[in-house]
Structure 1
Amino acid sequence: MSIFGDMDSGGEYDDSELYLPSQYVVLGYAENGDVIVESPYIEKWIGAIRSVLDRRWHATKYWLIPAQMSAILPLRS
């Protein structure tokens, strides 16, 4: 699954789970090196973020995730 939807066997995109530009995840880096993740509340995405060990919710409405591949890779799916 990508933000563009899945391609079916005929080479056409299935946009049934198409994400709009306002729904993209924004990534950045905090001063301590952690990854900042900002996302609208999409249950599937929040569930993936909550599955990351040592993730933290910041009061200004973003998640802090350790800058480690083991923490970031689960967010790709």
Structure 2
Amino acid sequence: MGDLFSLAGHRALVTGANDGIGRAIAEALAGQGARVTCAGRRSCAETVASITASGGVGEELQLDFVDPMAASDLFQGAG
């Protein structure tokens, strides 16, 4: 029986992952094996670096939801 909380083979998209609760969620999901796309208005490079340093897989997607095309860009980039 595998790990009950394993997210290996799954992808997660976390908005607001540059700091605070969003960063903590992104790191926790990566810690359980998810490949995490970290999205935010500001750079999420530190979050991605933390995930990578812990052996996880993370990627950054910087965008601002004030822009009407941001949601489309989000799903295109996270795909």
Coarse TM-score class (shorter-chain normalised): under 0.3
Highest Rg: 1 or 2? Answer: 1
Please report the TM-score for the alignment, with normalisation by the length of structure 1.
0.28
Q: When you count helix as a share of all residues, which structure comes out higher?
A: 2
Q: Relative contact order: is structure 1 or structure 2 higher (C-alpha 8 Å, sep ≥ 6)?
A: 2
